Amino acid sequence: MKDLYKALLAIQQEVHHNHSLLNFSNDSIQKAITSVASGKQENVSKSQELRAINEYIFAWNTNSFDKYNQKDFSRIFEKYINN
């Protein structure tokens, strides 16, 4: 039981850490959007600019979500349960 508790605690800590990193990722993309939005783009239509930014943001968020949302914790269970 003690090993299971340690494994679950380690999983909770890793999930919390990954959640923080995902928030950092989202915060940085929001800052980038604000920077781009405040600049004046010449010779670029607003619809093209919006489309490009939207596609970039979607790819960024998808990549960050996949990177920081762990689904397999077998490594942690093996570390604590099989010792």
Q: How many residues can be counted in the chain?
A: 83
Among 1, 13, 2, which Cα is nearest to 76's? 13
With 0-12 CB in 10 A as exposed, 13-18 as middle and 19+ as buried, what is 14? middle
| Buried-state track 41-69, b at ≥16 Cβ within 10 A, e below 16 | eeeeeeeeeeeeeeeeeeebeeebeeebe
Tell me the pLDDT tens digit for each residue of 47-70. 777 677 878 888 888 888 888 877
What is this structure's pTM? 0.59
**pLDDT score at 46:** 63
Whether 83 has a pLDDT exceeding 70, the answer reads no
**pLDDT score at 29:** 82
Whether 40 has a pLDDT exceeding 70, the answer reads no
Measured between alpha carbons, how far is 45 from 24 in angstroms, rounded to an integer?
Answer: 30
Whether 31 has a pLDDT exceeding 70, the answer reads yes
